[in-house]
Structure 1
């Protein structure tokens, strides 16, 4: 577990964690050795000798242990707090670098649980569970070593009990692994179902089902309840077995000590000290099952974190090249998503400062071209080039600085309108922000909202309409002032008023830039310098609007359908 924890923490925090574990181990050893001083203390007290030196030594040992325990607990909390921040930061950075294809719908609940209580549970190891676990393992072993020195027969008896206690703990852990894994899987599924239930509210209410229970969510919660019961029941035999084993070991040592004392082989001081030490070691051993259960839960979360961190982000070039031009080229590109070939053998180019429109039926691979150009994915064959340079050879930050993207589904962060616009260029002046907003006709929205620029947009932009969110997105892209603009279905779901405003903003955004636009509403592509019709991941037709209409092919059929009514 420690190896997995250190791997998750990374090199920066592995050292402090190792030092904390070493300090906890030293504390547990000192605790065991301080208990060993009971033998000379009791000998002196029961034998009529001078016990003061031993009592002073015992008090000093206890004081030393208390100081070490304070320092080790403090180190555990400090490391736990610092690594919690570090893991959240590392997780966020890593998730931002993973390919977009990694984010399947099933991972919504998984990442939500992992980024929430999963990280908290995993990182609570050093603050709450590591010290008791180390103490429960190391202190009894130290006491066994002391007993071997004092009386080899009692020491061997105690040593013989070590593999028995360890075997019971291993058996308990193995019994619980499958049930714990099932419970975690059910937990993730239930979280995903809760998210789905919330997202499905408009559909449920439109269907008049507001009073009904959501069957999928109910089934998921019932499954989680059953899995939790099975997890608790699977741990019960181990807890009982561990308690019985510890009590049996204590009884055996007491019986052996009494036998040796009655036979005159050991004195009353040794017997009494042995009973005290055995009783003192019983408490952490009995708590080991509870601590072990918490550690297994934390270890499971560590394993999931480790799996996420083990997922390779898109590779970066050892010697990145910065393009000097802003033309775009797809050269014999093939891209597969799972078992499906989305784009196959596609080649096309966009000269610098020109506009390319990509049209075609749903599932034709139109949006995939934008994703490949922004390097959300890497191609399986061929190359995507910007300024003649393969996007895989460009530093990701340099590539993103050259590209402004406006999607159909705009996501806004919970904050003010100005905060969301400034994401395009955080160091922009107030005049530049206002100019970008005016060009996107966002100023009209700001003027009618209570609070103006300080108006909160809500999580995901929920307090704004679709058209208003799209204007924020265009203003953000205008502020970024990137030489390449990617537009994906930006007006397909807007009312006529917002469509006109967004279309005007898009025209300002596209002026003088290299543009690739994906659209279903073909009226928005008439001004494109070139249009390609995509189907099945291949270019079926290409040319200008008038040329394609004159051919009477697939594009002409789409145009006729789009202009009906």
Structure 2
């Protein structure tokens, strides 16, 4: 655990870790020495040898002073490392998350990530600043006392040393039970966190459908499971603590028996026996403290394992050699891809998008249409074949170079809980206010800003909750317009919008795609009909390709798809006479 913990310490604070351990070791050894010096002090006092008593008492005071100084240094070093770790570790987690494939996030909830970056980091901080020093002290002090006791009475020393592996075995048995219960508690807590966030965000939907009770049931179930898991942690830890405490007290009774037996046999003096019983008590006390702190340290160890597992998740390899982008085209060459082993999403896909043209991708749900766009932006790496953007394999381009070439606009738009202007500026952080306004006007975001109380400075709420779906889509188009990349990857999302919103979004899309190379997952018949090339995708393969006129003349899958879309576009409600 210590090795993994130290691996999480930021590089600039690593030089402090040897000093921290040196201070912990010095404090523990000086504390053990102070306990042992009690024997000659009491022997000298009861023997009326005051000069000798003062000599040993002075040494004891020096040992106690060394304990205070080393304890102070240990606290300072531990706090400096822990405080530095919070920012450094959270930054490292953020950087690592940015480098993970998008597919990783589909199987990990926001609640889990929240606990990792907040609760688990706090547990690790506490372990460094407090727990680790206390637990190591609780181990080194008894060991130091046991070794030092060799110079007083080897029998007592042997009893102390033999008790160590017994107590360690009992502690390990308790640790196994606790670790399993703690893992379940972490999972339940992460699920509860996710359900709380979901419940808060879903209030408009739940209330509009009169399903508040159903939403509560999901939340109540998660909270009940968290309570149950926490209870299991308690029941898993308490028996272990009780058994360990009983064993520690048994060891003390054995040590006391040996001391009394040595006194009655005349081997040691009564003053020495009093001191030895006191030292035995000091030998036992840290062991009890270790048991009490053990669960906290085991919890921190579990947090270390979880964070280490996260940071070991494989990232997308980053190209280091700079490349010069060529003409803004896109090519797929025998591309195969799957999100999970054995579940092929795309197979043997080959096509090209010429610069300045529009390629529309159509097909049934689950055919792999959106996956095409994500692969072009390198949200994932292909399993086989290659994807080329602007004349270079996406894997051979530094991320900044590739992302400067593409503007992805997907269906699921996420807006930050900031102002309208700030959400648009994310498209290009160095953009001027005037450039932000021009992009907003082109995407018809100015209409949204006019009705908001603070205009472009109005905060849009978490996830853009204060805006409608069409309004959020317009803000995302404004982002892409501001970025002004030569290649647009568009997952067109107008089918669920009202006519006014759809018209505004379509005008923004026309402005965004003017003169650009476009790959669009098409839903609107007008977009499909005007594409330079149409790919009909099904089962991860291109089953038909051509222009709109060519595919209609073919009378195959696309023609059926087009006819269905045309019929659906003309549906209306009719009054029935009963």
TM-score by length of 1: 0.94
Rounded to whole Å, the distance in 1 between the matches of 2:332 and 2:361 is 13
Q: Offset of 1:179 from its aligned partner?
A: 2.5
* Correspondence 1:46 to 2:49: no
Rounded to whole Å, the distance in 1 between the matches of 2:498 and 2:216 is 32
Match of 1:115 among 114, 117, 141: 117
Corresponding position of 1:6: 6
Corresponding position of 2:463: 460
Structure 1, 88-97 or 230-239: larger mean CA deviation? 230-239
Q: Offset of 1:225 from its aligned partner?
A: 3.0
Q: Offset of 1:369 from its aligned partner?
A: 0.3
Match of 1:477 among 480, 485, 491: 480
Structure 1, 428-437 or 517-526: larger mean CA deviation? 517-526
Match of 1:187 among 186, 189, 192: 189
Rounded to whole Å, the distance in 1 between the matches of 2:214 and 2:477 is 41
Q: Summarize the alignment of residues 496-535 of structure 1 with structure 2, pairs less than 5 Å apart.
A: 496-535=499-538
Rounded to whole Å, the distance in 2 between the matches of 1:227 and 1:245 is 28
Rounded to whole Å, the distance in 2 between the matches of 1:152 and 1:32 is 17
Q: Summarize the alignment of residues 333-348 of structure 1 with structure 2, pairs less than 5 Å apart.
A: 333-338=335-340, 339-348=342-351
Structure 1, 109-118 or 136-145: larger mean CA deviation? 109-118
Corresponding position of 1:381: 384
CA contact (8 A) 1:169 1:238 kept: yes
Q: Summarize the alignment of residues 545-564 of structure 1 with structure 2, pairs less than 5 Å apart.
A: 545-564=548-567
CA contact (8 A) 1:437 1:475 kept: yes
Rounded to whole Å, the distance in 1 between the matches of 2:138 and 2:495 is 64
Q: Offset of 1:212 from its aligned partner?
A: 5.6
Rounded to whole Å, the distance in 2 between the matches of 1:420 and 1:134 is 50
Q: Offset of 1:393 from its aligned partner?
A: 0.9
* Correspondence 1:417 to 2:420: yes
Corresponding position of 1:398: 401
Q: Offset of 1:451 from its aligned partner?
A: 1.0
Give the match's secondary structure for 2:273.
Answer: helix
Match of 1:544 among 531, 540, 547: 547
The Cα RMSD (Å) is 2.2
CA contact (8 A) 1:320 1:395 kept: yes
Rounded to whole Å, the distance in 2 between the matches of 1:424 and 1:193 is 31
Q: Offset of 1:69 from its aligned partner?
A: 0.5
Give the match's secondary structure for 1:563.
Answer: helix
Q: Offset of 1:207 from its aligned partner?
A: 4.5
Change (3 A) 1:212 1:321: closer
Give the match's secondary structure for 2:317.
Answer: coil
CA contact (8 A) 1:365 1:536 kept: yes
Give the match's secondary structure for 2:460.
Answer: coil
Q: Summarize the alignment of residues 264-413 of structure 1 with structure 2, pairs less than 5 Å apart.
A: 264-317=266-319, 319=321, 321-338=323-340, 339-413=342-416
Match of 1:104 among 86, 91, 106: 106
Corresponding position of 2:82: 80
Give the match's secondary structure for 1:487.
Answer: strand
CA contact (8 A) 2:370 2:521 kept: yes
Change (3 A) 1:412 1:213: closer
Where does structure 2 lack aligned partners over 5 or more consecutive residues?
571-578
Corresponding position of 2:576: none
CA contact (8 A) 1:408 1:492 kept: no
Q: Summarize the alignment of residues 31-70 of structure 1 with structure 2, pairs less than 5 Å apart.
A: 31-49=31-49, 50=51, 51-70=53-72
CA contact (8 A) 2:417 2:463 kept: yes
CA contact (8 A) 1:316 1:392 kept: yes
* Correspondence 1:28 to 2:28: yes
Rounded to whole Å, the distance in 2 between the matches of 1:202 and 1:448 is 21
Corresponding position of 2:170: 168
Give the match's secondary structure for 1:30.
Answer: helix
Change (3 A) 1:178 1:126: same
Match of 1:446 among 430, 449, 452: 449
Where does structure 1 lack aligned partners over 5 or more consecutive residues?
none
Give the match's secondary structure for 1:557.
Answer: helix
Q: Offset of 1:14 from its aligned partner?
A: 4.5
The number of equivalent residue pairs is: 565
Give the match's secondary structure for 1:456.
Answer: coil
CA contact (8 A) 1:8 1:309 kept: no
Corresponding position of 2:430: 427
Q: Offset of 1:463 from its aligned partner?
A: 1.2
Q: Offset of 1:368 from its aligned partner?
A: 0.5
Rounded to whole Å, the distance in 2 between the matches of 1:213 and 1:459 is 19
Corresponding position of 1:17: 17
